[in-house]
Amino acid sequence: QRGAPTDKYLTQAHIPLGLREQPDAVISVKSLMTFLEAAIEDTDWQLLGYEAGGTPLHSHGPIGPYILSATTLYQAAQRLVISARRETSITDNHLAFEGGTAWICMTPLLGTSDQKQQVELYNLRILLQLARSALGTNWRPERVRLCATAEATLKTHPELEQLNIEFDATTTAIAIPMEQLAAPIHKDDMHLLNASGAPLLDDGMITLDTMNALRQLIETYLPYNPTLETLSRLTGISKRSLQRFLHSRGTSFSRLVEQVIFCRAIELMADPGLRLREIAQAVGYSELSHFSRAFHRMTGLPPSTYRSKTLQLVQKPDRHDKAAVQQ
């Protein structure tokens, strides 16, 4: 778009020119960094990564529409960090919670300081796009954390200069108030709506006619204590009809929510890097003590005991594994 000799940089990085037309193609991190180095050296374009991240999110291969077809900002953020982890194994992308604030965190790839800065600026623009897809184009984060970008670089961009940025952080991250994570994703720019305004559902989107779909919707809203009114609003089905449907399946809304909380908590407990307090917050409990009592009621064990027993079963090596470790 800027008239730079892109083919030259691709050739220097040993990236086939045809890959530009394949957004889901895989290249090595080394090739990407070589491309960046050649482009920046030739153009001295210090905000290349930020401009590249401005490509509309839905145009980023199959991942963009997958992220934007989420129901809420919380679900879209989950899809982003999971998709990013699948793209490369050398980054740590995750959601973190501090009191009433959620942080969407992404780490730059390995490389020189200039290369990491460009990847970080790209990630920052993607994070801003993601949040604004739900909170509006004028939304601005209260806090931003950067780990690879020099402060002087941002003074050349009016938007970046106005952000409240904490430098020398351990990860690239933007802060979002917890209550804003429940905001719905706007799909107007994705051409996913038909003339009546109803979503055009495909295989990659939730259809609202199964128990599994209801469970997915409830899980999306777990941090915000979903209600029957919430489910009714999301599905367009009256509360009374939902109650009759759930009764016909031998359950109730409260029991269904309890099942989803239990299943999600069990999944999160398999991650030894998560504290029980973080797990409690992820499934809608502001107080660990309340979560512990509810978990004990559902399973007959305190969450710490249950987790300890589960991790021992998962991590306990058999005789052959022990021998291998000793060797």
Q: Are 9 and 42 in contact (CB under 8 A)?
A: yes
pLDDT in tens, 197-245: 333 333 333 333 457 777 876 876 777 778 898 777 666 678 898 898 8
Whether the pLDDT of residue 115 is over 70: the answer is: yes
In DSSP terms, 147 is beta-bridged to none
Q: Are 208 and 216 in contact (CB under 8 A)?
A: no
Q: Which residue has tokens 């050296």?
A: 41
Strands of 165-166's sheet in order across: 94-98, 101-106, 172-177, 144-145, 165-166
Report the percent of the chain where pLDDT is more than 90.
21
Whether the pLDDT of residue 47 is over 50: the answer is: yes
Indicate the CATH number for domain 206-314.
1.10.10.60
Higher local confidence (pLDDT), 120 or 28? 120
Averaged pLDDT score across all residues of the chain: 80
Among 174, 169, 176, smallest CA distance to 149 is for 169
Cβ neighbors of 10 (< 8 A, separation 6 or more) are: 16, 17, 19, 20, 35
Higher local confidence (pLDDT), 249 or 104? 104
Average pLDDT rounded to a whole number, residues 136-162: 90
Q: Which of 26-30, 77-81, 139-143 has the lowest mean pLDDT?
A: 26-30
Whether the pLDDT of residue 85 is over 60: the answer is: yes
Whether the pLDDT of residue 133 is over 80: the answer is: yes
Average pLDDT rounded to a whole number, residues 164-171: 92
Eight-class DSSP state of 97:
E
Q: Which of 141-145, 298-302, 304-308, 311-315 has the lowest mean pLDDT?
A: 311-315
Residue 103 pLDDT level (bands cut at 50, 70, 90): very high
For 100, counting Cβ atoms within 10 Å of its Cβ (0-12 exposed, 13-18 middle, 19+ buried), the class is exposed
Report the pLDDT value the prediction gives residue 210, as an integer from 0 to 100: 56
Report the pLDDT value the prediction gives residue 188, as an integer from 0 to 100: 57
For 86, counting Cβ atoms within 10 Å of its Cβ (0-12 exposed, 13-18 middle, 19+ buried), the class is exposed
Give the whole-angstrom CA distance, residue 97 versus residue 175: 9
Pairing of strands 94-98, 144-145: unpaired
In DSSP terms, 102 is beta-bridged to 97, 176
- How far is residue 310 CA from its own chain's centroid? 26
Whether the pLDDT of residue 159 is over 60: the answer is: yes
Report the percent of the chain where pLDDT is more than 70.
82
Q: Which of 21-25, 72-76, 170-174, 294-298 has the lowest mean pLDDT?
A: 21-25
**Domain regions of the chain by residue span:** 1-45, 47-182, 206-314
Which pair of tokens denotes residue 171?
Answer: 């990860």
Phi-psi region of 20 (alpha: psi -120 to 50; beta: other; left: phi over 0): alpha
DSSP letter string, 142-176? S-EE-SS--HHHHTTSHHHHHS-EE-S-SSEEEEE
pTM for this model (two decimals): 0.59
Give the whole-angstrom CA distance, residue 88 versus residue 82: 10
Quick one: which H or E segment has residue 105? strand 101-106
Give the whole-angstrom CA distance, residue 134 versus residue 184: 6
